[in-house]
Amino acid sequence: MADFFQTGAIATLHRLGRPDVQRLEQGLVQFSEETPIALVLPCHAHELGSKALKLIARQLSGVPYLKQIIVGVDGANRRSWNAARRFFAQLPQKPVLLWNSGPRMQALFRKLEDAELSPGPAGKGRNVWICFGYMLASDQARMVAVHDCDIVTYSRELLARLCYPVAHPALGFDFCKGYYARVSDRLNGRVMRLMVTPLIRALKNILGQHPYLVYMDTYRYPLAGEFSMDMDLVRRVRIPHDWALEVGLLAEVFRNCAPRAICQSELCENYEHKHQELSQRDPDKGLNKMAADIARSFFRRMAAEGIKLDAGLFDTLLSAYSRQAEDTLRFYAADSAINSLTYPRHEEESAVSTFVRSIRTAAKAFQDDPLWSPLIPNWNRIESALPTFLWELSEAVRLDNEG
């Protein structure tokens, strides 16, 4: 059984006792009459046919409360696009697919570029963003849930616990972030454990209890890819197109949403998906690249909050982070020992050394171009600049799905 401790700035909804998924789903069926629910699945062509995606499809086939499933398919040629259509056609909800690499969608992306409304390069951020656009164009849902397509421990419980806080009319939440444990024979989630949390706490030691840092430190797993939100928030938030999608989105929620309307929900007992390589020697790949993008996202948001970031602060931060990470290593070694888990101390220390370089890279990039931003324009701006764009998107998707 999990603890029921409330961590601070936002509400934490715990998974206590034996889960009653049937009760949650019955409630969601009722809530969905007033608040129709959409599910967005950002999918890459190489995930088609995987065990994880087959499991997700089997679980989703029995979900009774979804009004709409939207699948954004990246990296697909015509053959894999047709394979994706055949695969998802088995679901009774009849998902709508977006062929993001297809000629019609590529033409729409070029139109945005020409209007200086760049959606950024292909990736999960742009995929989620364009799926949100189609959801707005189709006007069938009043809230949306998002999760990845590589979850090998997926269950209907995960989706129900993700949707329930926002769908429930009496709870008053506009945004819900998922969290969970990631444990096998060892503790997983290195970027969150050894980079994000020590970085936030090092910044708090230097700068004090800034509301943004307190807010971010409240999240149990800020890098979780699962979240749900109200439709009004979908229109307002800007989504990053880089590897900092999760923390960048949380920063946008902080800006656009009152803390009392934000929660995090424990989704499952354990969670497993694909693991990224650390990529110690290549700053443009793997967890090394991810960590640099995340750190740069933090720096950009802090500057937007009026915090002065200069060379002296960054030098202090590297030392403070290293000390905080060293303490964290000791904590996780003890946690592993008492739970009879493997603790690869050398690998953990190598990860911290890599993340120090990632933070240094992010600091230099920020100082070289402090106004750079990976944020895609929000949909309110797109509709204002290009009033017919959502209709054109809807038509492109219709023709691709009929093709």
Q: Phi/psi zone of residue 306: left (φ > 0), alpha (ψ -120 to 50 degrees), beta?
A: left
Rounded Cα–Cα distance for residues 196 and 198 (Å): 6
pTM, entire model: 0.95
Q: Where are the domains of the chain?
A: 11-402
CA 175/CA 257 separation, integer angstroms:
8
Q: Give the torsion through C-alpha atoms of 301, 305, 307, 310, to 10 deg.
A: 30
pLDDT value at residue 20: 93
Burial class (CB in 10 A: 0-12, 13-18, 19+), 152: middle
* CATH T-level assignment (fold) for domain 11-402: Spore Coat Polysaccharide Biosynthesis Protein SpsA; Chain A (3.90.550)
pLDDT of residue 271: 83
Cα end-to-end distance, the chain, whole Å: 50
pLDDT by 10-residue block (mean), the chain, 403 residues: 80 92 98 98 94 96 97 97 96 97 98 96 96 98 97 95 98 96 90 96 94 95 95 96 90 95 93 74 80 94 91 94 95 96 94 95 95 93 98 98 87
Q: How far is CA 275 from CA 57, 143, 191, 200, 286, in A?
A: 21, 30, 11, 23, 9
| Beta strands per DSSP E along 214-302 | 227-230, 262-266
